[in-house]
Amino acid sequence: MSKVTVNGIELAYEDVGTGHPVVLLHGYPLDRSMWSNQVAALKQTHRVITPDLRGHGESAIAAGAATMQQMASDVAGLLQALDISRATLGGLSMGGYVALAFYRLFQLRVRSLVLVDTRAQEDTEEAKTNRAIQAERALQQGMEFIAESMLPKLLTPESVTKKPELVRQVREMILRTTPQGAAAALQGMAQREDQTLYLSRIIAPTLIIVGQSDSLTPVEDAELMHRQIGGSRLEIIEGAAHLSNMEQPEEFNRVLTTFLHDLEG
Ligand code: MLT
């Protein structure tokens, strides 16, 4: 693990392998370790960079909302520090919101996009209210209830009963996140703008991946992005809910490496 100071805060990241750079952004309230299966598979052929977004993992927290633009600017600073001018940018859920924000801000630095279990729509008013309640509760009571309420949505019922090691890994990741980091991300996600109308302006080759049983960012959200982003590819992963890369790593890695291989010709 390495650290770099970007936008006044210390960001933790891993940077392994050589080849075309691929940056993978984790979801909320998780950290870079969620990509361990992808790092292991891709590092043979690519340079893989996995940051902990601000307020998550081993990265620092700053006061106020962690907006998607702020996190995108952190990623841009990290890439600059690593002397990477252009990369494939992938993100799961909140990481996907950050990837879309990054594309809007720094389009020329994106070689291709990988949008995983994510969506382009802004929050409904109900979702915003719910985020405020969750943030308050996390600050008052800690992360345990967030782990308990999110786990059944992140994984399929089958994974929850049959994959205790995966459940443990996800739970520990959530419990490692500080309430302050979670609250800042919740506030930031609630402030995101709708990106639906922007999707048709994306010209980077784009891969969209979604778990067939994802209830947080369902298949319809992925299909909407697929319809709007010209030439995009949509892959639906069976036997997976929201954390498709962790639940079905082999199939996930197959679709990801096929996309990267086709891109690189
Ligand atoms: C995530 O997995 O990053 C979150 O579920 C996204 C969200 O709450 O919108």
Residues 4-13 have pLDDT tens digits of: 999 999 999 9
Q: Is residue 210 over pLDDT 80?
A: yes
Mean pLDDT along residues 7-30 = 97
The CB of 216 under 6 Å from ligand 1? The reply is yes
Q: Is residue 205 over pLDDT 80?
A: yes
pTM over 0.95: yes
Closest ligand 1 atom to Cα of 216:
5
pLDDT computed for residue 63 by the predictor? 87
Distance 265 CA to ligand 1 centre (A): 33
- Contact between residue 122 and residue 131 where contact means Cβ atoms under 8 Å apart: no
Could you report the per-residue pLDDT of 97-148, keeping only the tens digit for each? 999 999 999 999 999 999 999 999 999 999 999 999 999 999 999 999 999 9
Mutate to test the pocket of ligand 1, among 28, 195, 214, 221 (most ligand atoms within 8 A of CB): 28
**Nearest-angstrom CA–CA distance, 98 and 51:** 12
Contacts 24+ apart (CB under 8 A), 216-223: 216/93, 216/117, 216/153, 216/154, 216/241, 216/242, 217/93, 217/96, 217/117, 217/118, 217/119, 217/242, 221/118, 221/119, 221/120, 221/121, 222/115, 222/117, 222/119
Please, which pLDDT band fits residue 265 given cuts at 50, 70 and 90?
confident
- Contact between residue 156 and residue 240 where contact means Cβ atoms under 8 Å apart: yes
Could you report the per-residue pLDDT of 34-63, keeping only the tens digit for each? 999 999 999 999 999 999 999 999 999 998
Distance 28 CA to ligand 1 centre (A): 5
Distance 126 CA to ligand 1 centre (A): 15
Tokens of 195: 């990106």
